[in-house]
Structure 1
Amino acid sequence: MLVNALMLLFVIFSHPSPRPTNDSYKIDIANAVVSVSGKVKTPSGQPVSYANVAVKGSVKGAFTDLEGNFQLFDLSDGSYEIEISAVGYKTMNQLITVVAGKLVNLEVVFEEEDVQMPQFAVIANRDRIFSKVPGSVDFLDKAEIKNLHPISGNEVLRRVAGVHVVDEEGAGMRVNIGIRGLDPDRSRSVLVLEDGVPVALAPYGEPEMYYSPAIDRMAGVEILKGSGQILYGPQTIGGVVNYITPNPPSEHEGAVRIQGGQGGFYSNLINYGNTFGNTGFQVNLLNKGAKNIGPTEFKITDFNTKFLFNFNEKSELGLKLGLYNESSNSTYIGINQVMYDQGGNDFARLAPDDQLDVQRYSVSFNHVYRFNPNVKLRTLAYGYTTTRNWNRQDFSINANNTPPANWTGVVWGDRSIPGGAIFMRNSTGNRNRQFAVGGIEPRLEVNHSLFSFKNELIVGARYLEEKALEQRINGTKAGVQSGNLVEDEQRDGKALSAYFQNSTDVSEKLSFNVGMRVENFNYDRNIFRRNFSGRGIRDTVLVAGSNITEVIPGAGFNFKPVKMVTIFGGVHKGFAPPRTKDAITSTGDALDLEAEKSWNYELGLRSVPTPWLFLEATAFLMDFSNQIIPVSESSGGLGFGVVNAGATRHQGLEGSVNIDISQLLNSKKWNVLYDVNVTYVNAFYNADRFISDININGNRTPYAPEWLVNSSLAVESNSGFGARLTANYVGAQFGDELNTIVPSVDGLIGEIPSYFLLDAVLSYKIAPWNSAFNLSIKNLTDERYISTRRPQGIRVGLPRFITAGFEINF
């Protein structure tokens, strides 16, 4: 299947759009005439690599190379506005005039955006200087996100090598991210941030992603997988995903975006920003929902606003507020293997009364104080609450297909096949949880010249408190949210972290990064009510606590042997604290549960051999002394048990290629871009471990496909027409540790076959109106595939799905 998929990619993308027949089309780039050349630098004189240089009102554009240089070709005589942008800097606009074909030289010095409203950008020192990042890193900007016209953020994250994203309900409201073969369940092994602030329910004790930032309102996404992530705990296992929201513009700027499609789907976003004197603001409101995306109905209201107060030359303050409300019929139950094989019920609502309500309220502050040009203090403070109440109908499955005593009369599947029936019960389990998180993080940034070398030092500390309240209420009828309180508890945690990282430029070609973080986490579990074996449900007072301390070092390097090549590498210790519910049992016993630990290595190369070609390849190894395999309900388990899974190893290769075909062929009227990223992962158990007397040493870890391929061909014309084709291949994967191939009747285990998806987008921009139309088709070939066998049954991937939209900017 992989070979077929790769051949199909070659056939599709080796035949770009028909070649224009007019005189402006030239095959030999040597015939191109350089109209504008320039260099982009930081205020300290360092080159800015991969800054975006665009000629407004045309398809002409370029990225700066590793030395910050760029060229624009074949501009006709006339006046143009050049826009230059990069993450962490204020966008620069430059008016130029081309006369008689004479070369225009530009030198652009960026002005830093110190307060990032409030965000600590994960990538290096706020900018996109890949040549200085100690490890593999990716950035997806606003244009890339908009051009995909995604239904969910899953489509965007798949554009990154090494990232495996599993669809659950089709709308991406519960993101499941696995990096380099790690289990994607609830993104537990990934540190997810929004503007540098944690997003998980409880970052230390319960790092599950039941709330996912809406991709519709994002200005970019950063993904960091190398040793630089040790600054951003608590998790340093798989990587860091940082969602970036837009900052206040320097002058008034607004937009309205409307998207609608099948199944009653809609996504409406309005945003506006401006700056008055020393105060800037940005506000956006997202209203999103659907009657039927697969089996899912949902409504989301998401309001965010930012303020920037520029007090003086030394001090700035950013403030961000967020309100999120979601209601959906999300459910854990999926179809069984019998239903999948027989067809016809892929998107049946097996439990139509199931309902998940999520509310999230957040506030964060980011203050910057500049003591002098070389010393800067940043302080990030934040707090947020998340309420996650989930009403789920009970059901019963047994080998004899015997209905339970409280059966509603509704049965799914096939009663003629042993274990092939799902009986819906007339009872519910209401899993109600509330979380509160607060933290403060001061960070000192110092440029110094120790031993006569140029150094950048970051020193910081973080204090965080988190609290979780959990109740389970069993209802005696389907759909009811009241009933008998059977579980009641509170979990508390206090974390203190300190870190440093120093980057040293040994020469113009070689730099080193050395860092370390120390984590201390104290946690306890207070159980007020539970079900005791042989005694029934009783009120109780069970209190137990524990603590963990870990030292997490890391180091990396960048070496530029020649002008257009950077070799990078790094090593760091992977760490994730144990979940509080796993480390302390429901009877109040504190288990000797270790943290999740690994040593992560990578070695890579990135190059821009020509202005139209970008190459990157990375080899990686993650060697776990103790990987924690989740046993939660979301991963198909019972929610309790021994979770020290022992040694595993993840090793593989990632590769990315970006080609600007229009620059290669010197096209004046067409912008044609092609990219592909390929990931090979071999993730397996690396020590003896027995399950049902079977040694799984050497078996692949669950939900770790060996091959991932994502590719895109995008075409845009000066007239405003655009088209994009995106392909995504996911290799076969196993649903259990035993690597069972033949599926179980209930659908929970068995091989998940590989699948190949194509998405297409057509767009048309109307420049005089500052507006654009689009038509988007997801799963163009209408491929039927299993996206996951979790949490409790098969989820079928979204079928062909068509949306259309309109956007106007003002």
Structure 2
Amino acid sequence: MRLYQIYCVVLLGFLSFSLENIVIASESKENELSVKGVVYDTEQNPVSYANVYVKGTVKGALTDAKGKFQLFDLEKGVYEVQISAVGYKTKSQVVEVDANGVLDLGLVVLEIGVEMPEFSIIANKDRIFSQVPGAVNYLNKEDIKSLMPVSGNEVFRRVSGLNVVDEEGLGMRVNIGIRGLNPDRSRNVLMLEDGVPVALAPYGEPEMYYSPAIDRMAGVEILKGSGQILYGPQTIGGVVNYITPNAPETEQGSVQIQGGQGSFFSGLVNYGNTFGNTGLQVNLLRKSADNVGPTQFGITDFNTKFLFKLNEKSELGAKFGIYDERSNSTYIGLNQVMFDQGGQDFTRLAPDDRLDVSRYSLSFSHVYRFNPDFKLRTIAYGYTTTRNWNRQDFSINNSNTPPSNWTGVVWGDTSIPGGAIFMRDGTGQRNRQFEVAGIEPRIELNHGLFGQKNELKAGVRFLVESAKEQRVNGTKAGVKSGNLIEDELRNGRAFSAYFQNETELGEKVSLHGGLRFENFNYERNIFRRNFSGIGVRDTSIVASNAVNEIIPGVGFTVKPTNTITLFGGIHKGFAPPRTKDAITSTGDALDLEAERSWNYEAGVRSELNNWIYVEATAFLMDFSNQIIPVSESAGGLGFGVVNAGATRHQGLETSFIFDLSRAFGLKKWAIDYDIQATFIDAYFSEDRFIGDVNINGNTTPYAPEWLLNSSLAIESESGFSARLTYNFVGDQFGDEVNSIEPSANGRTGLIPSFFTLDAVVGYEIKKANLGFNLSVKNLTDERYISTRRPQGIRVGLPRFITAGVNFNF
């Protein structure tokens, strides 16, 4: 029996044995109420789901829908209670708990704070997301910090339904597949930072060669339901929004340093303050390593945000970022012979390969309140990304014949047909530069149509993007110059218009309906290319095309009680074809179909009591056409695409969170256990032949049937904390044919299931604002295949140990 099966059996046994005892314990010893109160704003409206925290303890609570809160099991003494909520100023109040009964704080009033005028995908972040008609997740700064993540991949694995594929072990190029979709470069996921796109080109080339560093984030939002139509253009898989910290009300700063094996270093400095009507938040991140797995890299990431309160009705935000990366990232991986023999898992097969990524970004956000019920939000942004990748050429053939420009270096086994990799004395430099600019005004209006409470969001977006690409072939390995082989420019202009209206039918039911229109005009200009039978020539090939799409979506939420939310929705999934794929190098417009689907989901979120939270979502994505690219990053030849035809993705996502400290009435310890489990059935749903094989019914590539993530976290009032995180990924296929036996080059074949176990321990000296941590990734040193892409096997990161210190001031 595989370890994950044993794990599941033990889990079920634990739950079945413990639940009855926990209930008995809860019934026999009630939690003792210590403090209660109600939170309102200055306009006498209850503040729902505000965070109430007792500083210096592990005690806390959320206010309910009527603003009420209760704190249990506080011993006699003086405490500082801190109350915070999104959009309000944080308030602290000193209270004294004695033995004379419950302390009633009565009415606590929060002042409305200065609002950072950015777009967020989840406006109301109460635990059961009572106003969101779809599957949604929100991970805050504490959730991220508790993992001590080396990369954002560890954070995203905490979300059900997400298959996160490691490429180099450090998450510099995030690969997320949602609900069985292709994870390659996160093409089917709309990636945002503070509501602004971050992909190379959101329409024409939505690849994540740059990924925002999770180290500097205040949170992450993930939306998979019908609310996606507010964003676009990708409305297929979901929306991921990185949230950066805003300027604090008072001076705050921090220094975080982490070091580990392979000369790994991560240093982050944060500073924020508000000076009169101006707020400032600035951070600088430096990460580097000489040898983490096969990877050597250096990253410098600088970001700053300003908030200007212009008057009582409006605020202006400004954000500027600089990102610079130098790494030895490569496409070439192990072949099957090398993996089977072992001993070369992290050998640098092409030691001179180099990837340089530079990014400059600038954005502005503004909000103007005409009255309490009518707001106008506007964001404007521009960014440029340069991605220059120099990779050594190599040759693989069944006869194991060395190429004419062989360097003399060979990897693998020449006695096995196709089992050798011959390194060639030449390079291919793939240099690309992207420029994106956009503006998006959006109105938010509360109105009373049909005598009901309504909220309307409507807006338009104008976006332009360009991509300049050159291919330079060097005649020696490791050189940075050579002959210009390909030269082209791709331009795109997009217009979007959308609206979504939420209607509340009483206090328990809300209906959501919306529509989005997308127009994308694109053009490909080819200045130089390699012509068959002629060779490389200057040319002038210009071709253009356009895509128009109407994207509807509807959803609902029903709250039978204050602690249960039922939700569901239907929306159309859409993703435009990549410009480079839709127009060939000869200038032919292929009329390549956009990806289209109908997405359905229904589920429930509930706090069964004050120590159990449950969420379950059933989903179905029915594609009339799914495009599977054959780019080099997807393991293909680097040109063309596959109209994969009809596919179907269906399954179930579940999440269970147990607050065991409340269940057992523990006063000085916080103990949380959670488990996220996902079942996915993703397959081709119509006849399609690859050679003589009909793949109808085959599983789509990189779509594991089972995903499991579970964590046990412990925290004490003394400052000690510990977390154990388990992650399991089921079997995956590397190709559409569902090959079981691996190919000699390692690019196709079954990817066996694997698990990893991560451990973190920490200690905080709260009076000194000082913390220490020790983290072990892949505690059991599991050896596994993380992917067979782009061009060979990548072995998952081995046991990796880091230690760190953080200081707040």
> Residue type of the partner of 2:405?
N
Q: Is 1:371 aligned with 2:370?
A: yes
Partner of residue 578, structure 2: 579
Does the 8 Å contact 1:49/1:129 carry over to 2? Answer: no
Partner of 1:644: 643
Q: State the SS of the aligned residue for 1:186.
A: helix
Question: Is the CA contact 1:200–1:206 (under 8 Å) kept in the aligned structure 2?
Answer: yes
Task: Give the TM-score normalised by structure 2.
Answer: 0.96
C-alpha distance in 2 between matches for 1:90 and 1:600: 39
Tell me how far apart the structure 2 counterparts of residues 302 and 71 of structure 1 sit (CA, whole Å): 42
Please state if 1:232 is matched with 2:240.
no
Amino acid of the structure 2 residue aligned with 1:103 = L
Alpha-carbon contact 1:567-1:605 (below 8 Å) kept? yes
Quick one: distance in 2 between partners of 1:472 and 1:46? 61
Tell me which moved more, 636-645 or 235-244: 636-645
1:482 paired with 2:481, answer: yes
Aligned position for 1:104: 104
- The answer as to 2:743 corresponding to 1:721 is no
CA distance in 1, matches of 2:43, 2:417: 72
1:77 to partner: Cα distance: 2.6
Q: If the length of structure 1 is used for normalisation, what is the TM-score?
A: 0.96
Judging changes above 3 Å, is the alpha-carbon distance between structure 1 residues 326 and 281 closer, same or farther for their aligned structure 2 residues? Answer: same
Q: Is the deviation greater in 522-531 or in 409-418?
A: 409-418
Amino acid at match of 1:443: R
Instruction: Name the counterpart of 2:730.
Output: 731
Distance change (3 Å), C-alpha of 1:723 and 1:165 = same
Please name the residue that 2:463 is paired with.
464
String of CA shifts for 1:547-597, please: whole Å, max 9, x gaps.
011000101100012332111000100010110001000111111111110
Instruction: Return the offset for 1:107.
Output: 4.4
Instruction: Look up the match of 1:5.
Output: 4
Match of 2:290 in 1: 291
Q: Read off the aligned partner of 1:198 and give its amino acid letter.
A: P
Question: Aligned-pair distance for 1:13?
Answer: 9.8
* CA displacement at 1:76 relative to structure 2: 2.1
Q: Secondary structure at the match of 1:331?
A: coil
Aligned position for 1:22: none
How far apart are the structure 1 equivalents of 2:597 and 2:402?
A: 47
Structure 1 residues 415 and 50: CA distance shift in structure 2, 3 A: farther
| Structure 2 unaligned blocks of 5 or more | 19-24
One-letter amino acid of the structure 1 residue matched with residue 201 of structure 2 = A
Question: How far apart, in 2, do the equivalents of 1:807 and 1:15 lie?
Answer: 36
How far apart, in 1, do the equivalents of 2:66 and 2:701 lie? 43
Q: What's the secondary structure of 2:130's corresponding residue?
A: helix
Q: Which residue of 2 is the match for residue 777 of structure 1?
A: 776
User: 1:52: Cα distance to partner?
Assistant: 3.2
Distance verdict in 2 for CA 1:66–1:295, change over 3 Å? farther
Determine helix, strand or coil for the equivalent of 1:146: helix
8 A Cα contact 2:597 2:623, kept in partner: yes
Q: Spell out, residue by residue over 1:582-614, the C-alpha distance to the aligned partner (whole angstroms, 9 max, x if none).
A: 100011111111111000000000111211111
The verdict on how the C-alpha distance between 1:523 and 1:371 changes in structure 2, with shifts beyond 3 A counting, is: same
Q: How far apart, in 2, do the equivalents of 1:650 and 1:45 lie?
A: 47
Task: State the partner residue of 2:437.
Answer: 438
The one-letter code of the counterpart of 1:240 is: V
Mapped partners of 2:745, 2:682: distance in 1: 26
Give the partner amino acid of 1:743. Answer: P
- SS for the counterpart of 2:629 is coil
1:273 aligns with 2:272: yes
Aligned residue in 2 for 1:678: 677
Equivalent residue letter for 1:787 = S
2:118–2:366 CA contact under 8 A, matched in 1? no
Q: Per-residue displacement from partner, 1:317-343 (whole Å, max 9, x unpaired)?
A: 000000000000000000000000000
Residue 165 of structure 2 is matched in structure 1 by 166
Q: 1:712 to 1:44 in 2, by over 3 A?
A: farther
Identity of aligned residues (%): 70
Instruction: Describe the SS at the equivalent of 2:311.
Output: coil
Q: Matched residue of 2:120: which SS?
A: coil
- Contact 1:566-1:606 within 8 A present in 2 as well: yes
Equivalent residue number for residue 324 of structure 1: 323
Alignment partner, residue 407 of structure 1: 406
Q: Is the 8 A contact 2:411 2:422 kept in 1?
A: yes
| Deviation sequence 1:379-418 (CA, Å, 0-9, x none) | 1000000000000000001111111111111111111111
Task: Tell me, in whole angstroms, the C-alpha distance in 2 between the residues paired with 1:210 and 1:29.
Answer: 56
Kindly indicate whether the alpha-carbon contact (under 8 Å) linking 1:461 and 1:498 is maintained by their aligned counterparts in 2: yes
Aligned to 2:183: 184
Q: Distance in 1 between matches of 2:102 and 2:672?
A: 28
**How big is each residue's C-alpha offset from its partner over 1:511-546, in whole Å with a ceiling of 9 and x where there is no partner?**
101111100000000000000001100000000000
- Equivalenced residues, count: 800
1:185-242 Cα deviation digits (max 9, x unpaired): 0000000000000000000000000000000000000000000111011100000000
Query: Which amino acid in the other structure matches residue 235 of structure 2?
Result: T
Amino acid at match of 2:395: S
Partner of 1:85: 84
1:136-151 → structure 2 map (5 Å cutoff): 136-151=135-150
1:51 Cα offset (Å): 4.1
Counterpart of 1:104 in structure 2: which amino acid?
A: D
Match in the other structure for 2:597 = 598
Distance 1:44 1:593, change over 3 A: farther
1:240-270 deviation line (CA, Å, top 9, x unaligned): 0000000000000000000000011010000
Kept in 2, the 8 Å contact 1:677–1:711? The answer is yes
CA deviation string 1:687-737 (max 9, x = no partner): 111110211010000000000000000001111111100000000010000
For 2:501, the equivalent position in structure 1 comes to 502
In structure 2, relative to structure 1, the CA distance for the partners of 1:371 and 1:627 (3 Å cut) is: same
Q: Which moved more, 1:78-87 or 1:753-762?
A: 78-87
